[in-house]
A and B are shown apart, each in its own frame.
Chain A
Amino acid sequence: MAESVDLSMFVERRPSGASHMTLAVDGVACAGCIRKIESGLTKLPGVIDARLNFTQRRLAVDWRDDETDAAKIIGAIEAIGYRAHPFAPERVEADDSAQAKWLLKCLAVAGFAAMNVMLLSVSIWAGNASDMTPETRDLFHWLSALIALPAAAYAGQPFFQSAYRAVRARQLNMDVPISLGVSLALGLSLFETATHAVHAYFDSAIMLLFFLLCGRYLDLAMRRKTRLFAGNLASLKAEFAHRLDPGGELVQIPAAALHPGDRILVRPAERIPADGTIINGTSEIDESLVTGETLPRAVRSGMTIYAGSINTSGALTVRVTAAGTGTLVDEVEKLLDKAVEAKSQTVRLADRMARLYAPVVHATAALTAIGWLVSGASLHDSIVIAIAVLIITCPCAIALAIPAVQVVAAGALFRSGVILNSGDAIERLAEADTVVFDKTGTLTLPDPQIVGGGVRPDVLERAARLALSSRHPLALALGRAARERCPYPGAVEEAGQGVRAMIDGAEARLGNAHFCNVIEPEQHAARIGDDASFITFSHGETVAAIPVRQALRADAVAVVNALRERGLRLVVLSGDRPAAVAPVAKELGIEEWRAALTPAEKIAAIEQFQSQGRRVLMVGDGLNDAPALAAAHVSLSPITAAHLTQAHADALFLGENLRPVLQAVILARRARALMKENLIIAAVYNALAVPLAIIGLVTPLIAAVAMSGSSLLVTVNALRARVRARIPGEARS
């Protein structure tokens, strides 16, 4: 193929003049792979450096432009035996890793300061009980101040900045009492030190910062990990388009680099890379990913087609358009905007806590001070006690309680094949009591499967092996059935027609009925139902029609039953014809199903459930499901879903099975139970410690021990979210 490849959008220029590119690499599993790829690439002329990041499965390559280019490098990696795809890092991801580094630095500083201040504090506590001179105690307090003040000024920044933003917006968040508590504690300790007092609170303030930073970092680390993985998958799935340049040349470019107005060529069996209008050619396209409809639609010049559909028969020339008004995509986007707006009003558990918590803490501290003043204590003593209340109530355990569970649960979900898109999805997943499924690509597998029966095994084997030479979607499905994985030599594919080859001296043909000279293919096949398509096969006298259709995911029945057992109400909302939806719903035993729905009708159905007070978990993959996913309380998408749909799902699941949906529900429910348990632990701690603080019995020692103890307890409890969910039917796969 004399087609040039343009990858310039992924290539970065280094100041030194070298070019740089990041690639997501698939299939790297061991040390040997790292070495093979790195040494294989550095041997290439012009390559300066190649370094594979094994954690991220990403390869960074630097090269000199005059000696090699991006396409050659990708070719070289393929020659070594790996699939590599150029990767355009997203803005969010870069921000995240900068933020993570900063938090880690703050954490290191706080950790250093906490250790050293505690060292001094323990000496003071021991000295107060024995024979420490006031001069030594003062020295130790001043040393503590020397360490704690600069450390808190640096490590406290994440909280101070967030609190400042909240106060400026006239709101309260969790960071306001934290910042206030830390600054007051440090200020008062300084005053105490200057007046040669027995107690100072530097250790409490700095320990508090340390534990809170742990929670913040864990929270961010979880989100980063899933985003990284999702980024890799997106680039591995990234599509290429064949652009027709004005001079008539064909250039292969990443679909992301297409602009409205470009002319592109879509060959048979290729996915349509962008929305557009057909300017030349006729074909049938499979729009199951877009509308859920499983029957192909005939298209001709002048008609609009959508990204994500598959061109099945003829070559098409398409002019790329931006989403115009009145198109399906336009409608979907309008619905999406509305749905997203409505959803942002749900409040996370932690934020709800903070809203309640901050005023209560401030009020308690203020009342304590006033109470002591009224009862005749000195101003100094009243303030000391009020600060002790502030410190002891500072939401150390609460700030750790939820992120710790989230991190552990997200890890467990990740191992079950569920990638979270949003951090609070776990909470919302746990609340779901109704599951709405899309049919095409969600309950069924995204690719068509051959339906057995009616075809002799040896004929099927020959047809399947012949199918290996074709790239047509139906042939791909048939090809998977071939036991002999090696295609017939000399097989020729005729675009839009089928493949032919000489087998045992007779010509074999596989493709449409006309190509195989077969009239009425249905009479050669068993009755399967009217939702199946046929591939015709002829070889000498033998003629067969092999039925192919969308098959249920292997464990769909078991998963649906298990969900029902857990008290969830199940519904199927599909964009496909009723005739195609009814058998699926019947097989799964789902009584509530609706077919031939538009995106707006899907939203309406979900809103109706939600107005009845139900919390809907929507599982869907099509472009037509995107608004419904955004409107639902929580949503899941298979990783094969359309781009826009994935972006609006709260979580994605991997693999051919439906089981991750069930695991997500089970793990999320357990995680939510643990979050509540942790909040109760934190509340009990406060209930015990706060009265002591209010009556003025809390020494810095008690504060430090109680705080660390409750934080540890909460973290250890969170680890229980790790336990894997056992699910019926798991043993079978």
Chain B
Amino acid sequence: MNVLIYLVPMALLLGLIGLVAFLWSLKSGQYDDLDGAAVRILPDDDIEG
């Protein structure tokens, strides 16, 4: 069972990374305009240039 010494902290760390990523995305306004993000990818700005 010694493997637990590595695996449990790793599992926790991965979870924490997910949590921090979510909190960051919330803080940086990623969820402020959900519908806008869906339509903004459509126009081909670079082609029309």
Interface set of A (CB-CB < 8 Å, partner B): 30-32, 34-35, 52-56, 101, 104-105, 108-109, 112, 115-116, 119-120, 133, 136, 139, 143, 147
A30→B12 contact, CB < 8 A: no
Residue interface bits B10-41, CB-to-A below 8 A is 1, else 0: 01100110110011001000011111100110
CB distance from B24 to the nearest CB of A (A): 11
A104–B26 CB distance below 8 A: yes
Asked, given contacts A31-B40, A34-B40, A35-B45, whether A55 binds B32 with beta carbons under 8 Å apart, the answer is yes
Q: Check A109/B43 contact, CB under 8 A, given A101-B26, A143-B8.
A: no
* Inter-chain contact B12/A116, CB cutoff 8 Å: yes
Tell me, rounded to whole Å, the shortest Cβ–Cβ distance linking A136 to chain B: 6
**A225 CB, nearest partner CB in chain B, Å:** 12
Beyond A52-B36, A119-B11, A147-B12, whether A105 also contacts B43 by CB under 8 A is no
Contact of B19 among A30, A31, A108 (CB under 8 A): A108
15 new A-B pairs (CB below 8 Å) besides A55-B32, A112-B18, A116-B12? A30-B39, A34-B36, A34-B39, A54-B39, A55-B33, A55-B35, A56-B33, A104-B31, A105-B26, A109-B19, A116-B15, A133-B1, A136-B1, A136-B4, A139-B4
A147 to B13, CA, bound (A): 12
Residues of B within 8 A of A (CB): 1, 4, 8, 11-12, 15-16, 18-19, 22-23, 26, 31-36, 39-40, 42-43, 45
Question: What residue of chain B has the Cβ atom nearest to residue A133's Cβ?
Answer: B1
> Top 9 nearest A-B pairs by Cβ distance?
A54-B36, A31-B39, A112-B19, A31-B42, A55-B35, A53-B33, A55-B33, A54-B35, A108-B22
Contact: A112 with B15, CB < 8 Å? yes
The secondary-structure label for the interface of chain A is helix
**CB proximity of B45 to chain A, nearest CB, Å:** 7
Taking CB as reference atom, which chain A residue is nearest B32? A53
Return chain A residues, CB-CB under 8 Å to B16.
Answer: 112
A-side contacts of B32, CB under 8 Å: 53, 55
What are the residues of chain A within 8 A of B11 when measuring CB–CB?
116, 119
Beta-carbon contact of B22 and A53 below 8 Å: no
Closest chain A residue to B18, Cβ basis: A112
- With A and B bound together, what is the CA distance between A713 and B47 in angstroms? 50
Contact of A35 among B8, B26, B43 (CB under 8 A): B43
Residue of A nearest to B12 (CB): A116
Task: Report B-chain residues with C-beta under 8 Å of the C-beta of A104.
Answer: 26, 31
B27 to chain A, nearest CB (A): 8
CB distance from B38 to the nearest CB of A (A): 8
Selected A-B contacts with CB under 8 Å, 16 pairs: A30-B39, A34-B36, A53-B36, A54-B39, A104-B26, A109-B19, A112-B15, A112-B16, A112-B19, A116-B11, A116-B12, A116-B15, A119-B11, A120-B8, A139-B4, A147-B12
Inter-chain contacts of A136 with B (CB < 8 A): 1, 4
Cβ–Cβ < 8 Å partners of A133 in chain B: 1
Residues of B within 8 A of A56 (CB): 33
CB distance from A155 to the nearest CB of B (A): 11
Task: Considering the complex, give the chain A residue whose CB is closest to the CB of B37.
Answer: A54
Q: Would A115 and B43 count as touching, CB distance under 8 A? A: no
Nearest CB on B from A80, distance (A): 15
